[in-house]
Each structure stands twice: as C-alpha cells, then as structure tokens.
C-alpha cells in the first residue's frame, strides 16, 4: 500500500493530469520497474452496461473508452520517458475476459466489452513497438477474475462463492502472474491463473 503522503492524484481522462503526473515523477527522478494500471469503469449512476442495442449511448461509449481504452495507453505514453533501457520493466494493465472478441458468447455490455477489446489492441501495439525499442520491457493485459469490488457488486449474484475473489487474493494472484512473465512473453492477454485468453 502506498502511504497516503506518497500517493499522487491522476485522472486518466485528462491529458493535463497525465502530464503533471509524469512531470512529478520525473522531478523525483523515479526509476520505474513495475507499472500496474488497475483503473477501470463499468457503471456509474445512470451509466449502466447495456443489455440491448437500444440502450447504447454515444456518451457512454465515449466515457468507457476514455477510462478503459485510451487511459492505459496514454499512461504508457506519459511514463515511457521514465522507463529504464538497460533493466527489465513490466507494464501491466487490467483488462477483462469480457473484452475477448473470440470468447464473446453472450453479447450485451457493448461499451465495456468494446472498450476493453480496444485496450487490448492498443497495448498489443505497444508491446510490439517496445519489443523493438525497449527489448527488456514486458507488457501484459490481465483479467483478475470476478473480484468483490464496487465494479462487480451489482452483477455477481450468480457467481459461486469460490469464484469470487477478495481484492487481496486477486492482487496476489495477478502479482504471481506478472512475476512469471519475461520480456519474451510481452503482449499477452492473461487470466488470474496464468492461462492465455483468446483475443
């Protein structure tokens, strides 16, 4: 846990906030070895996942893409100058299995699914670029499994207790997955148990 006095505010939907965040880390000469983006947005008040096409709204698509798709890759852009060239560095970002196009058997949740699929593509591009420019970097997209947080709260009635992770368990499982990755594994979409998820 970051002590509160070391925590910095960051709004991934605001370029000025991203710039200020990166500048502050630069001023403190921070050497980054591990970046984990754990932000995400599924619902917020009137913003709810769509059950059918007629519920789709331009505003919801834009908001969900801003946090779930644009945010992670713009964070990578802001932090790139701080990443070491001569040492391994890991950039991990939380995605979601429902962002898998190949695995989509149910439909619905248009904006969230599409925003996570877009994140996957954007960070896959990043992984391929860094493979050439930062060969010691590893980029991973991670599905945490259904975890008891505010995000999943309205949608987990049918999830069996043994498949609902506490945030602590989910975090530890993802740290184990990250620890098992090497630069040669960059650009993978991985579940909490280390298995590969189809794009």
**36 versus 136: smaller Cβ distance to ligand NAP:** 36
> Quick one: which of 93, 92, 117, 115 has its CA closest to 103?
117
Indicate the SS3 state at residue 161: helix
Based on the shown chain and the rule CB under 6 A, indicate whether residue 190 belongs to the binding site for ligand NAP. no
Residue nearest to ligand NAP (CB): 40
Matching residue, tokens 């701080």: 82
State in angstroms the smallest separation of the CB of 152 from ligand NAP.
3
Q: Which of 63, 152, 171, 183 binds ligand NAP (CB under 6 A)?
A: 152
Based on the shown chain and the rule CB under 6 A, indicate whether residue 35 belongs to the binding site for ligand NAP. no
Strand 137-143 relative to strand 188-191: parallel, antiparallel, unpaired? parallel
Based on the shown chain and the rule CB under 6 A, indicate whether residue 96 belongs to the binding site for ligand NAP. yes
**34 versus 133: smaller Cβ distance to ligand NAP:** 34
Q: Which of residues 59-88 bind ligand NAP (CB under 6 A)?
A: 67
State in angstroms the smallest separation of the CB of 28 from ligand NAP.
20
| Helix, strand, coil share (%) of the chain residues, nearest 5 | 45, 15, 40
The DSSP result for 65-134, as a single string, is HIIIIIHHHHHHHHHGGGS-SSS-EEEEEE--GGG-STT--S---HHHHHHHHHHHHHHHHHHHHHHHH-
Q: Which of 7, 16, 53, 150 binds ligand NAP (CB under 6 A)?
A: 150
Based on the shown chain and the rule CB under 6 A, indicate whether residue 173 belongs to the binding site for ligand NAP. no
Report the first-to-last Cα separation within the chain, whole angstroms.
32
**111 versus 146: smaller Cβ distance to ligand NAP:** 146
Residues 142 and 177 sit within 8 Å (Cβ to Cβ)? yes
State in angstroms the smallest separation of the CB of 4 from ligand NAP.
14
Site residues for ligand NAP per CB under 6 A: 10-13, 38-41, 67, 94, 96, 143-144, 146-147, 149-152
């Amino acid at each position: 846990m970051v002590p509160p006095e070391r925590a910095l505010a960051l709004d991934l939907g605001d370029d000025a906030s991203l710039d200020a965040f990166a500048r502050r880390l630069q001023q403190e000469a921070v050497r980054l070895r591990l970046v984990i983006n754990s932000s995400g947005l599924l619902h917020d008040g009137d913003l709810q996942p769509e059950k059918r096409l007629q519920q789709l709204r331009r505003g919801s698509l834009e908001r969900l893409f801003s946090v779930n798709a644009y945010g992670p890759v713009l964070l990578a852009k802001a932090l790139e100058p701080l990443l070491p060239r001569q040492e391994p560095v890991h950039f991990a970002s939380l995605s979601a299995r429902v962002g898998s196009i190949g695995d989509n058997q149910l439909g619905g949740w248009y904006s969230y699914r599409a925003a996570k699929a877009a994140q996957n593509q954007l960070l896959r591009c990043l992984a391929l670029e860094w493979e050439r420019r930062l060969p010691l970097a590893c980029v991973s997209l991670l599905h945490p499994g259904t975890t008891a947080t505010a995000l999943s709260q309205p949608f987990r009635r049918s999830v069996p207790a043994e498949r609902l992770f506490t945030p602590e368990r989910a975090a530890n499982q993802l740290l184990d997955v990250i620890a098992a990755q090497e630069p040669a594994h960059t650009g993978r979409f991985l579940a909490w148990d280390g298995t590969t998820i189809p794009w």
